[in-house]
Structure 1
Amino acid sequence: MNSIITDLKYIIEGEVSDAKTDLEAVSQDFGGIIQKFPQVVVRPHNSTDVAKAIKYAANHDLTISSRASGHSLSGQSLNQGGILLDMRNMNQIHEFHPDELWFKADAGVTWKQVVNTSIPHGVIPPVLTNNFEVTLGGTLSAGGLGLSSFRYGSQADNCLGLEVVTGTGDIVWCTPENNSELFYHVLCGYGQFGIMTKVQNRLRKYRPFTRSYFLCYDDLDSLLNDQRLLISENRIDGLVSLFSPCLLGVSRASQKGIKPLIQWFYRMQITLEVDSVNDIKQEKILSDLNFYRHIHTEDLTFEKFIQPIAEVPHPVDTANSWIDVLLPASAAKNYIDIALQRIPSFLDFRTIPVGSFCLNSHNTKMPMFPLPDEELIIGLGMYPTIPKSQVKPVIEQLNLLTDIGFQMGGKRYMATWVDFDITRWQLQFGDYWPQVNEIKKKYDPNGILNPGFFKYEEVVREEVNGSLFHSIISVA
């Protein structure tokens, strides 16, 4: 261990530490379910540091992972027994071109830095999540979804170029035109094919004001139909729905004991981005929607509207076992009904946030972000924060809901809790799964990058009695 520290300190310009406090600080992520301890933490100063650390790891049979804010939920940003690259010191915006609608920055730059820089120039990244403290590299490795993703795709879909260090330590600039295979797999690839060190990203102009309508529904079919209408007609600029349970009583006739009688209500928030709220023709927006009640109208400046509503609390000894299921619109009603029926059996339905969002498949083109095979995608999010003592039974039920989603043609957003065996990975990527494995071998031939999340397959040719057979080996 001492030789590893000594070696890395000699070749790395940035910081190198094996202090217990530093190792503990990167041993968990936002999920709070998985814990891993690296041997050493490296805080690279530049991409050359990253390349040297990767080459060292490859030569010494060590694994290596990257993290910044650590906002993953399934240990994607953790490392056991190897090298952990803490990317937060690589945090400079190098170029900012509001007239040309792009910027270039280190992967450790936060979206808050970008927003603070861009807003005074009248531009903004096309998609923002509800957490500005996470980094460019973090969300681009996952996808990054927001209120406007049905129009602009994921954050990854708005990336124009990447500087990547591959699993062999090569520093490569890649775009959709040059080194495109690496570009399209590092994005949404969770550090499996290379580590992002710089990002070139798109900007867009924004309008100065927003109006949001808060509409209440008591019928799920009506909600889903209105979502489809609003998106297909390009009427709005932002959309999200939240589900609220109302306990109406209990039934004692259930064979399992007392059963709560729950009526779910659905609040859809639709947002318009405008030059002046006086220009809005409300009748044109709302007249043919089938909501139960129009409960609120909110006018804000664009700058205030995009700010995250609140920081998500993370009480001590709790875990965030969140999942997002991406559903073909034709199956969404059936799946959501099943999920809402099941939730009260294993979670406190009164406190768990549940909601939905929409995607257009033609706006989301990343091969590492697989989508159901329909134009309109309905996302269902379930976001329980639970005592760690309840993690195992809750995860069992969430895995069951994942499997039901797969059976209905759905996919999972892998930024949330993922507990996949080989079969689930095959269902997630479908016919593309063998190619994912081949590209992993190409850019990370030693299998050292962010191990333990994806469960890759290795096809081994075996000769038995003169015949060739293929056996599948699971490789963590």
Structure 2
Amino acid sequence: MNNILSDLRHIIEGEVSNTKEELEAVSHDFGGIIQKQPRIIVRPKNSTDVAKAIKYAAKQGLTISSRAAGHSLSGQSLNQDGILLDMRNLNQIHEFRPDELWFKADAGMTWKQVVDTSIPYGVVPPVLTNNFEVTLGGTLSAGGLGLSSFRYGSQADNCLGLEVVTGTGDIIWCTPEKNSELFNHVLCGYGQFGIITQVQNRLRKYRPFTRSYFLCYDDLDILLNDQSLLTSESRIDGLVSLFSPCLLGASRANENGIRPIIEWFYRMQITLEVDSTNDINEIELLSSLNFYRHIHTEDLTFKKFIQPIAQVPHPVDTANSWIDVLLPGSMAKKYIDIALKHIPSFIDFRTVPVGSFCLLNRNMKMPMFPLPEEDLVIGLGLYPTIPKFQIQHVTEQLNFLTDLGLQMGGKRYMATWADFDLPKWRLQFGDYWPKVNEIKRKYDPQMILNPGFFKYEQVGEKNESHALL
């Protein structure tokens, strides 16, 4: 251990440490389910430090992973017995071109820093998640979804260029035209093929005001039809739906005991971005929808609207076992009905956020972000924060919901909780799975980058595994 520490301190310009307190601080992530502890923490000063650390790890037979905000849910930002790169010191904007609608910044920069810089110029990144404290490199490695993703795709779809350090320690600038293979797989690749050190990203002009309509539904089929109408015809700029259970009593006609009688209600929030709220033809917009009650209208400045409503609390001894299932539009009603009936059997349905969102396949281009084959994709999100003693039981049920979604032609958003074995990875990527393995062997031949999340094919298993696809 002392030799590794000494070696790295001689070759790294940034900080290198291995104190007990610092190692423990990076041994868990936001999910709180997986725990891993590295041997060494490196805080690189630049991409050259990252390259040197990767080359050293390869020479010593050590694994190496990157971390910034640590907002992963399945240990994607953790490392066991290897080198952890803490990327937070790489946090500068290098070029900001609001007239040309792009910027270039370090991967450890937060989206909050980007928004604070861009808003005064009347521009903003096309897609923002509900957490501004996460970093560019982190969300681009995962995908990054927001209220406007049905229009603009994921955050990764709005990336224009990347500086990447591969598993062989090569520093490569890549774009959709130059070194495109690496570009297309590092995005949404969870650090498997290279570590992002710098980002060039798109900006867009925004309008100064927003109006949001909060519409209540008591029929899931009607809700899904209205979501499809609004997103496929680009009538709005933002959409999200939240599901609310109403406990109406209990039934004793159940051989397994008392069963709660639950009626689900659905609140769809649609948002328009405008120069003036007087420009909105409200009658035309709302008359085409089939909600049963218009419950609220909210007018905000764009700057206020995009701000996250609140930080998600993370009480001591709890875990965030969140999942997002991406469903083909034609199967969404069937799947959601089953999921809503199943949820009360394993968690406190009264306190767990459940919601829905829409994506359009035509606007999502990243091969490492698999989607159902249909153009309209309905996302179902389930976001329980649970006591740690419930982890095994709850995650078993979440795995059931995952398996059900995959069987119905769905996919998983891998930024959330996932416990995948090889058969699930094959289902997730389908015919593209052999290509994922090929790219891994090409850019990380020693398999040292961020191990323990993806389960790759071993040499000799190839023919058998392809027969199982």
Compute the TM-score of the two structures, normalised by the length of structure 2: 0.99
Q: Which residue of 1 aligns with 2:40?
A: 40
Question: How many angstroms does 1:472 deviate by?
Answer: 5.7
Per-residue CA deviation, residues 95-139 of structure 1 (Å, 9 max, x unaligned), is 000000000000000000000000000000000000000000000
Q: For residue 55 of structure 2, what is the aligned residue in structure 1?
A: 55
Q: Which runs of structure 2 are paired with 1:237-386 in the superposition (5 Å)?
A: 237-386=237-386
User: How many residues were matched structurally?
Assistant: 466
Q: 1:170 & 1:198 partners in 2: Cα distance?
A: 14
Q: Name the SS of the counterpart of 1:457 in structure 2.
A: coil
Q: Look up the SS of the partner of 2:457 in the other structure.
A: strand
Q: Which runs of 5+ in 1 are unaligned?
A: 462-468
What is the percentage of aligned positions where both structures have the same residue? 80
AA partner of residue 326 (structure 2): L
Write the distance in 1 (CA, Å) between the matches of 2:37 and 2:313. 24
Partner of 1:439: 439
Q: How does 1:37-436 map to 2 (within 5 A)?
A: 37-436=37-436
**CA displacement, residues 170-195 of structure 1 (integer Å, 9 cap, x when unaligned):** 00000000000000000000000000
Deviation at 1:67, TM superposition (A): 0.4
Q: Distance in 1 between matches of 2:259 and 2:414?
A: 33
What is the rounded CA distance, in whole Å, between the counterparts of 1:458 and 1:441 in structure 2? 11
Question: Which amino acid is 2:227 matched to?
Answer: Q
Pairwise CA distance, 1:262 = 0.2
Give CA-to-partner distance per residue, 1:135-183, whole Å, 9 cap, x none. 0000000000000000000000000000000000000000000000000
How many angstroms does 1:470 deviate by? 4.6
CA distance in 2 between counterparts of 1:234 and 1:455 reads: 38
1:192-245 superposed Cα distances (whole Å, 9 cap, x missing partner)? 000000000000000000000000000000100000111122110000000000
Classify the secondary structure of the residue corresponding to 2:460: strand
- Is the 1:459–1:472 contact (alpha carbons within 8 Å) kept by the matching residues of 2? no
| Structure 1 segments of 4+ aligned residues over 2 angstroms from their partners | 469-473
Equivalent residue, structure 2, for 1:465: none
Distance 1:470 1:125 in 2: 43
Q: Is the 8 A contact 2:232 2:360 kept in 1?
A: no
Where 1:330 maps in the other structure, the secondary structure is helix
Cα distance in 2 for residues equivalent to 1:377 and 1:455: 26
What is the distance in 2 between the residues matched to 1:323 and 1:471?
30
What is the Cα deviation at residue 247 of structure 1? 0.2
Indicate the SS of the match to 1:214. Answer: strand
Report the CA distance between 1:458 and its aligned residue: 2.2
| Closer, same or farther: CA 200–160 of 1 in aligned 2, 3 Å | same
CA distance in 1, matches of 2:53, 2:292: 58
SS state of the match for residue 27, structure 1?
coil
Q: Distance in 1 between matches of 2:233 and 2:418?
A: 34
How far apart, CA to CA, are the structure 2 residues paired with 1:205 and 1:152?
Answer: 13
Q: Give 1:459 shift.
A: 3.4
Letter matched to residue 361 of structure 2:
S
Alpha-carbon distance in structure 2 between the residues aligned to 1:46 and 1:300 = 40
- Output the CA distance in 1 between the equivalents of 2:255 and 2:429: 40
Alignment CA distance shift 1:144-1:417 (3 Å):
same
RMSD: 1.0
**Alpha-carbon distance in structure 2 between the residues aligned to 1:428 and 1:233:** 28
After superposition, what is the alpha-carbon deviation per residue over 1:280-333, rounded to whole angstroms, capped at 9, x for unaligned?
110111002100100000000000000000000000000000000000000000
